[in-house]
Structure formats: C-alpha cells, structure tokens
C-alpha cells in the first residue's frame, strides 16, 4: 500500500486544487405581501387568475463569492379585483473555488437557483397562507431550459448584430 502525502488525493493532485462549492448563507432579501381587497376578497366566489413571473440575478459578493437572487412577482386577480400580490427576492451566497470559468454560468444560473428554489417556494407558500388563502405551491422551474433559452436568444441577437444581454440574468 502506497503512502499518500497529507493534502493529496489518490492520484497525487492537491485537494486544494479540486473544485469546491459551498452555500455560505441563504436569506429573504426582500418580501412584500399585499392583500389589497381584504376583507371583501374572502366572500368572493370566483377563482383568480394567477400570474407568476421570475427573474434571476447573479452578482459578485466578494472574492470567489457570488450572490444568486431569485425574484418572484406573483399576483392573483379576478374580475372582482386583486386577491393578493407577493413579491419575493430570495438569495444565496455561494463560495466557489477552482471551478473552470466556462462552468461558472451553468452553475450560477442552473444549479444555484435549483438549490434555492424549494426554500423560496416555502416562503411564498407561507406568505400566501398567512393572508388567509390556501397555500400556493409553485411548480418546479426548469432552470436548465431557461438557461438554454437565454443562450439561444444571445446567439440570435449576436447574429442580428445587437448588443448581448448580461449572461448572468435570466
């Protein structure tokens, strides 16, 4: 059996040069909950139309640290008026070391939001139920498809000679 040097793995590469990703924190960055038609809304017998919009933003938060923010704008409206409005910005701080530059956008725009989504979904569900409505359980988001759509849109804009959008926003 061969002896291994401290700090080395089986193939002789230093563990400090291996890709490392950790979640340093996750948090509600901003939350707005509105019940503008209370108390009348509780007597309405009409099902509201739900509009869910999301946006994704990535920014540097320090050396090898990135903040990934999921922003949700949700409204439930009917002919009677607005049932509720929820705006949530849910963020996470990710420390990333020794990850190749070409792998950063896919991680930050697919994997990081995928890790954050269940927690943001729970905050939204709790906020809606705290207003007296049934909990709102958002369907999972396919961040990989959103990322690929963004890449295709950038390629189309590049072919048309337009400025390309920021690669860290979906």
Give the single-character DSSP code of 169.
Answer: B
Task: Look up the pTM and report it.
Answer: 0.80
CA distances from 135 to 11, 65, 127, 154 (A): 51, 34, 8, 37
Give the residue-averaged pLDDT of 9-36: 84
Alpha carbon 2 to its chain centroid, in Å, reads 45
Note the pLDDT of residue 47. Answer: 93
Does the bond joining 39 to the residue before it have cis omega, within 30 degrees of 0? yes
Chain mean pLDDT for the chain? 87
Query: What is the phi/psi pair of residue 44, to 5°?
Result: -70, 135
Give the residue-averaged pLDDT of 28-56: 96
pLDDT digits (tens, 9 = 90+) for 134-165: 999 999 999 999 999 988 888 888 776 544 44
Note the pLDDT of residue 153. Answer: 87
Reply yes or no on domain 20-159 having CATH 3.10.420.10: yes
Separation CA 166–CA 55 (nearest Å): 13
Q: pLDDT class for 167, splitting at 50, 70, 90?
A: very low
pLDDT digits (tens, 9 = 90+) for 65-92: 999 999 999 999 999 999 999 999 999 9
> Does the structure show a pLDDT above 80 at 35?
yes
Cβ atoms within 10 Å, residue 42: 12
Residues forming a β-bridge with 75: 51, 85
Sorted by where each begins, the domain ranges of the chain are 20-159
Separation CA 94–CA 116 (nearest Å): 11
- Look at the alpha carbons of 140, 87, 71, 52 in this order and tell me if their dihedral is positive or negative: positive
pLDDT > 90: what percent of the chain?
Answer: 72
């Amino acid at each position: 059996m061969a002896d291994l040097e401290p700090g080395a793995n089986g193939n002789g590469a230093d563990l400090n040069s291996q890709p490392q990703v950790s979640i340093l924190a996750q948090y509600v960055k901003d939350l707005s909950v509105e019940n503008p038609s209370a108390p009348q809304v509780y007597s309405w017998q009409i099902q509201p139309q739900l509009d869910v919009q999301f946006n994704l933003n990535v920014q540097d938060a320090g050396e090898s640290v990135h903040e990934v923010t999921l922003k949700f704008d949700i409204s439930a409206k009917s002919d009677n008026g607005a049932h509720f409005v929820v705006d949530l910005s849910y963020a996470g701080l990710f420390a990333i070391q020794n990850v190749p530059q070409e792998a950063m956008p896919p991680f930050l725009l697919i994997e990081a939001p995928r890790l954050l989504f269940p927690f943001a979904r729970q905050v939204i569900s709790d906020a809606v139920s705290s207003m007296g409505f049934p909990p709102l359980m958002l369907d999972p988001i396919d961040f990989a498809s959103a990322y690929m759509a963004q890449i295709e849109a950038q390629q189309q804009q590049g072919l048309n000679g337009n400025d390309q959008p920021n690669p860290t926003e979906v």
